[in-house]
Structure 1
Amino acid sequence: MKSLKKQRRIQIIAVAVLALAVSTALIGYAMRDGINFFRSPSQVMEEPPASNERFRLGGLVEEGTLVRGDGDTIRFSVTDGGATVPVTYTGVLPDLFEENQGMIGTGTFQDGVFMATEILAKHDESYLPKEVADALKEQGVYQPADAE
C-alpha cells in the first residue's frame, strides 16, 4: 500500500515539474518579441545589430534631414552628437514630431538604415526620454531645459 502512495506522489511531482517547465518555456517564447533594448546612434554605429533584431533607437532628429514624400514614407536622421543614423518610417508621424526634438523609434537596422515601425515623440517642451537624455549626456551634448 505504501509503495502505491509513494509511486502516486512521484507521478504528481513529475507532472508538476513538467507543467512548470512547459509554462516557463511558453512564457519565454511569448516574451521574446516584447523585449526591445534601447540603443543610441553611437552604439548602433559602433556595433551594428543583426538585421532581424528589434530594438529602440533614440536621439534628436537632426536638423535639415526630415524629408517627406514617397507616399507615407518619411526619411530623417537621428543623432546623439557622436553619430548619426538614417531612419526610414512609413506611416503617420506623431503631431509633436519635428527637427531638433527628442524621439524614440522601434524597428530594425538593415543595410545601414534604421527601419522604424513605431515612432514616439516628446510630449512637451521640457520632456526628453530618459534613455535619450542619458545617451546625450554621455556625448556631452545634453543641456537640461532649466539650464537655459
Structure 2
Amino acid sequence: MHPARKQRLILVLVLVALSSAAVGFVTYAMRNNMDYFYAPSAFRAGEVPFEKRIRAGGCVVPGSVQRSGDSLDVRFAITDGEADLEVVFDKILPDLFAEGEAAVVTGKLMRDGTVRADQVLAKHDENYTPPEVAESMAGDASCGHGAKI
C-alpha cells in the first residue's frame, strides 16, 4: 500500500473512532434526561420502572380531582379507557386543566402506585394530538370531544 493511502486510511479510522466515542458519550450523558411515555394501562401491567422520570397521559377522570385546603396539593386520576392512574401534584395547575379533559404529567412512579408529578400539561388545542398520546387514547370517547387530546 502506498504511504499516502495508508496515512489517509489511518486518519479516516481515527475520525470514525473519535466520532463513535463522541456519540457514545453524548448518548450516555442524555440517558438521565429522557422521559419515557406510558399509558395508564402500562402502570397496571407493571411495565413502568419505579423512581425514574416518566411521562403519562390520558383524560382526567371526572370527580377525581381532590384539592388540599391548606396547600397547593392536588390529587387526581387520569385514564386511557382501560386503567386509571393516581397523580399527586403540589404546584399550580394550568388554567386549561379540567375534569374530562386531556392531560400529560411528568414525574416519578412511587412505590404506592401513584405518580408524584412535577409538571402537568393540559390540553391546549382540539386539533393537535401528540402521536404517543393518540395511540394510547385510541377509541376512548370519555375524553372531552371524543379521542382528541
Is this a same-fold pair by TM over 0.5? yes
Flag the 1:143–1:48 CA change in 2: closer, same or farther, 3 A: closer
The match for 1:61 is 60
What is the DSSP-based 3-state SS (H/G/I as helix, E as strand, rest coil) of the residue aligned with 2:19? helix
Deviations 1:4-51 (A, max 9, x none): x56654653443233112211122123323432322111221124111
| Amino acid corresponding to residue 97 of structure 1 in structure 2 | F
Q: Give every structure 1 segment of 4 or more consecutive aligned residues whose post-TM-superposition deviation is greater than 6 Å.
A: none
What is the rounded CA distance, in whole Å, between the counterparts of 2:24 and 2:87 in structure 1? Answer: 35
Flag the 1:92–1:11 CA change in 2: closer, same or farther, 3 A: same
Larger Rg: 1
The match for 2:137 is 136
What are the ranges of 5 or more consecutive residues in structure 1 without an aligned counterpart? none
- 2:38–2:48: 8 Å Cα contact kept in structure 1? no
The match for 1:96 is 96
Identity of matched residues, %: 30
| Amino acid corresponding to residue 85 of structure 2 in structure 1 | V
Q: CA RMSD in A?
A: 2.7
What are the ranges of 5 or more consecutive residues in structure 2 without an aligned counterpart? none
Relative to its length, the structure with more helix (as a share) is 1
Q: How many residues align?
A: 142
1:12 aligns with 2:11: yes
What is the rounded CA distance, in whole Å, between the counterparts of 1:78 and 1:85 in structure 2? Answer: 5
Flag the 1:7–1:80 CA change in 2: closer, same or farther, 3 A: closer
Q: TM (normalized to structure 1)?
A: 0.77
Q: TM (normalized to structure 2)?
A: 0.77
What is the DSSP-based 3-state SS (H/G/I as helix, E as strand, rest coil) of the residue aligned with 1:33? helix
- 2:56–2:106: 8 Å Cα contact kept in structure 1? yes
